[in-house]
Structure 1
Amino acid sequence: MSKLNKKLLLSTVSALVLSACGGGGEETKTVTAPPAKVTPTLSLSVAQSSLTINENDQGVISLSTSYNGQSTIDYSVSFSSEIVGVSAEVIDQSLQLNIDELENDHVITLTVMASSTADNLSSEQSIEINLTNSSVVEVIDEVELWTDIESVFKFDDFELALLPTIYAKAAYFNGKLTSTEYQTRVSDFTAIKVEASNQKSAEENTSLSTGVTDYQVSSITETELVALLDKVKVLASSEYNKLVEKVNELALLSDETVPALPLDSFGYVETYGVFSGVIGATSMGTFVEEKWQFSEQYQILNTLIPVLGNTNECSAN
């Protein structure tokens, strides 16, 4: 090879080496890799797994939602069984329940769900809700009083040797009854009281006797239990009124020497623990320091009503 060709070859190799080594002063550009794609996740948790709420009250359960996506979160609430007057909604990460008047106690499951439609994600939690019909407690207490039919249909206000006999004698001494009529009136009154007492076996009383049990197993509602109670009250009041009407006939024959009694006043008197249509009747008197006081025109009754404790063997003489 000639000296000239060797020089040309050397020049070419040198140029290639300089080019490969970044000769000419050019900078190397750095390429940044794209960020790794994040898969959205969604989870929901609740502060408690059960809650007891009384009727006409509210309940709140805190929620916690974990979500790393870019979409919005929607919430929905469903019940295992629909109860009238029970509603729920999610507001500011709180599950808020509103309970109206209830007819029975209930145990239901509430399910709250958080979801992201855009990410096709959802998460749910279930909560046991105990709904308490608190108002029925007073109803049950009253029912238990009125199922004591021996006390209800005793009609102790009309102890034969006391009030009925005194009223019949007042009519007799006023000249409106003969001796025979006097005896007949007393006998008639006895028969009426026996007949009234026999209503203990009436269907109304039989139905009420199982009312509380039927309510507790949800066979009937509170409204239906109250209806059963009202039927017994109406029956007892009706029978009591029959006795009042007979007494008032005698009061009229005495020219009101003895006072007439009010109708439709029969009920339970808690202070004395008895059923009466006289004690507690506001038209006849009032309670003073938990003791019944008759107004002036009814003072004669103080010794004629057994529960007051003022009677004696001579009261009817």
Structure 2
Amino acid sequence: MKAAIYTNYGSPEVIQIINTEKPTPKPNEVLVKIKTSSVTRADTMMRQGVPKYGRLFLGLFKPKNTALGTGFSGVVESIGSQVTKFNIGDEVFGEKLFSNGCNAEFLCVSEDLVIEIKPNNISHLEAAPICDGFLTSYNFLKDIADLKQGQHILINGASGSLGSAAVQLAKVMGAKVTAVCSTRNIDFVKSIGADEVIDYTKTSMANIQEKYNVIYDSVGTLSYKDSKKLISSNGVFMTPVLSGQILYRMLFNSKKVKFAATGIKKTEELKRLFLELVDLFKQGKLYTNIDKSYKLSDIADAHHYLETGRKVGNVVIINS
């Protein structure tokens, strides 16, 4: 089978498409023929090995895990002898972290991990990125911020994968949403539910007078120092993007400043959030926006596009 890997840190040109042996499922695993897989900004950062202190975990001089991709959607091709939840031919989707990668033609996944039957009302294209955008943002809004009905949330980077998911989730949770994006994405973020939109190309955060219960910086570009005046007395500033300033702020103000790596949560906690998301998608309350799709052989082009910072929603890899 074909799979995307990178054996050195660097530009998208370090990505290789290799031929490797098709995996065989263990007794508790299903073999999924992948139809679509996600490609994210986090993937590009790991490929680059940035921030550099992240290499303490990824590998100092070269990546320990050379595979790419965490979100997938596909069809069960075979099952292990102990599998009871899935059958051959089931359309499934989910996420596999710290593994042999989802940017490939096949993947083995334990039935007890983050995997579920794909709702009939969404396509494989729409399903593959759900765990990257929606699962991460749902963890922040529900488990970290404990966002309540009627509260006011500011979402920075509202047109991206995490941000557009957060806008929709916050509205489902009954919050008032102020979205921050560029001029060209205003109509998009309004269409997915934003109550108010701040165009960062025209309005400085320093000129905002509103107070927010939650500030969710989905892209890691806000300064807490400049944002703290916008947070209500019991409010919180949170981001999935780790930086030196966030680490410093957390040391001295851990109640106000929150960072979390959703992927390292316990499997049962991830599955709880994931299954709640599946129900919301079944009800048609959430929507996955696909900006661009690429063939697996063109995954380097997908990484180049992600690095432009112009992505609206999600980028997906399609297996031919």
| TM-score class normalised by the smaller sequence | under 0.3
Structure with max Cα Rg: 1
**More helix by percentage:** 1
**TM-score normalised by length of structure 2:** 0.24
Comparing both chains, which one has the higher relative contact order based on Cα–Cα distances under 8 Å and sequence gaps of 6 or more?
Answer: 2
**TM-score normalised by length of structure 1:** 0.24
